[in-house]
Amino acid sequence: MAELLVLEQVSAGYGRATVLQQVSFGLCEGEAMALLGRNGVGKTTTLNTVIGLTRQQGGRILLGGQDIARLSPERRVEAGIGWVPQERGIFRSLTVEENITAVARPGRWTLEAVYGLFPRLEERRRNFGNQLSGGEQQMLAIARALVLNPKVLLLDEPTEGLAPIIVEELLAAIRWIVREEGMAAIVVEQHARQILAITDRAVILDRGTVAYTGASGTLAADTAVLGRFLGIGGED
């Protein structure tokens, strides 16, 4: 498969601070990647750098072979980057349906398609964003990113702070998006074993650098690496 998104020796941070140091990895078309690591090692900064919210200090970011480093976040979205931030970024004063249709672009993911993925959103279609539960807001954030019909989807801690039953529902939706729909995606997630089960490849960051890269299945079975970099024991 052709590489869709490539980071080449990327260094980036905020202001004068450097968080990422010469980070390199590639994401192929139709591939799902788990981006893992302990808190504060640069996972969110990596996604923020891809979308253009940090000060990139070196290296290249290629999308479909084109360097997007000089593009604004808005232009990167137009180029094919879909982003679901930790803060969700929904319009709280708009209804569910207005949130979705306000950003929709032509493609496979339509209003009807995201309602099929998240029936609860269709049930709440006339509710305002501030009337939704945390789980429903996260569903709406993912739906908004999908109707942009991106080439690659970035998901930053999509299950953080949610009840276990909602976590299961969201992980099932992400599994469908990447497995059945073949969407290229990078997922930052604290539930490492659960996300490894539905991704193809994993990258572990440690202190702003790539400490490990390999197949998700291989990492899931490597208790030594999981313990060293993620603090996960054999029974987790």
| 206 falls within a domain | yes
104-130: pLDDT as tens digits = 999 999 999 999 999 999 999 999 999
In a domain, residue 6? The reply is yes
Q: Mean per-residue pLDDT for 2-30?
A: 96
Residue 168 within a domain: no
Residue 236 has a pLDDT of 44
Asked if the model's pLDDT at residue 151 lies above 80, the reply is: yes
* Within a domain: 215: yes
Does residue 124 fall inside a structural domain? no
The pair of structure tokens assigned to 195 is 């996300």
- Cβ–Cβ under 8 Å, residues 114 and 74: no
End-to-end CA distance of the chain: 33
Q: Residue 206, class by beta-carbon neighbours within 10 Å (0-12 exposed, 13-18 middle, 19+ buried)? A: middle
Domain CATH for 218: 3.40.50.300
The burial of 97, by beta-carbon neighbours within 10 Å (0-12 exposed, 13-18 middle, 19 or more buried), is given as: middle
Burial (CB count <10 Å: 0-12, 13-18, 19+), residue 233: exposed
Asked if 198 contacts 171 with a C-beta cutoff of 8 angstroms, the reply is yes
Number of domains in the chain: 1
pLDDT given for residue 190 in this prediction: 85
Length of the chain: 236
Mapped onto helix, strand or coil, the DSSP state of residue 203 is strand
Reported as half-sphere exposure (CB side, CA atoms, 13 A), residue 133 has a value of 10
Structural domain boundaries, residue 56 = 1-80+152-158+184-190+198-235
Q: Is the pLDDT of residue 18 over 90?
A: yes
Give residue 235's pLDDT band: very low, low, confident or very high (50, 70, 90): very low
Kindly state the average pLDDT of the residues 58-70: 95
What is the pLDDT at residue 39?
93
| 125, part of any domain | no
Q: Retrieve residue 234's tokens.
A: 């054999």
Full-model pTM: 0.94
**50 belongs to a structural domain:** yes
Q: How far apart are CA 173 and CA 187, in angstroms?
A: 13
- Evaluate whether 6 touches 26 at the Cβ level (below 8 Å): yes
Structure tokens at 40: 């504060």
In angstroms, rounded to a whole number, what is the distance separating the alpha carbons of residues 170 and 149? 19
Q: Please provide the average confidence, as pLDDT, over all residues in the chain.
A: 94
- pLDDT, tens digit, 9 for 90 and up, residues 207-227: 999 999 999 999 999 999 999
Mean pLDDT along residues 142-165 = 95
H or E element at residue 168? helix 164-175
Percent with pLDDT over 90 in the chain:
92
- Under the banding of pLDDT at 50, 70 and 90, the label for residue 89 is confident
Which secondary structure element, helix H or strand E, spans residue 73, and what is its range? helix 73-79
Residue 11 β-bridge partners:
58
Residue 7 within a domain: yes
What is the per-residue pLDDT across 170-201, written as a single tens digit (0 to 9) for each?
999 999 999 999 999 999 998 899 999 999 99
- Amino acid (1-letter code) at residue 41: V
